[in-house]
Amino acid sequence: MLNGSRVLAVASLALLATACASTGAKPRPFPTPAGTASPIVKTQPSPIDLFAVTATAMALRGTPYRNGGSDPDGFDCSGFTQYVFARHGLALPREVRDQFAAGFAVKLEDIAPGDLLFFSTVAPGASHVGIALNGAEFVHAPSSKGVVRVERLATDYWSRRFVGARRLNVG
């Protein structure tokens, strides 16, 4: 009987171990490292193709906004940027203010594809982030009433709220 109990226990353990993959949960592609000295961490040794980053961001257009969201079921602004860059081996911090401290400042006239663009929308300072497609347009997860979409930086709403651009050290 002891052998039968042992076989049953092993079989039960094997069954439970295989059930984990069927929960439907979607893990983040790369966790944000806790306690690291640098606000960004490269998880792949090769340089990041920023045109591929923008292509990933564009492929997510239409994804609904979800407060606290950081996966294709729904994004908030910083969850969107974190997810997109993680797909290309770069772990960004989760919060907008921490992403604003990453990389180095870029002048408005020098914005390039893949730069992070920051806006003051709900609080003073950087409170919203998007990814530059070029010097004129960016893609972002805008608000609880929106979906991931492209906007023009020169529109009155966004140009008045622009607080800066950051380029990540990805090379």
CB-based contacts of 75, cutoff 8 Å, min separation 6: 60, 63, 64, 65, 66, 69, 83, 141, 148
**Tokens coding 9:** 């226990």
How many whole angstroms separate alpha carbon 128 and alpha carbon 121?
Answer: 6
Strand partners, 110: none
Active site residues: 77, 128, 140
One-letter identity of residue 104:
F
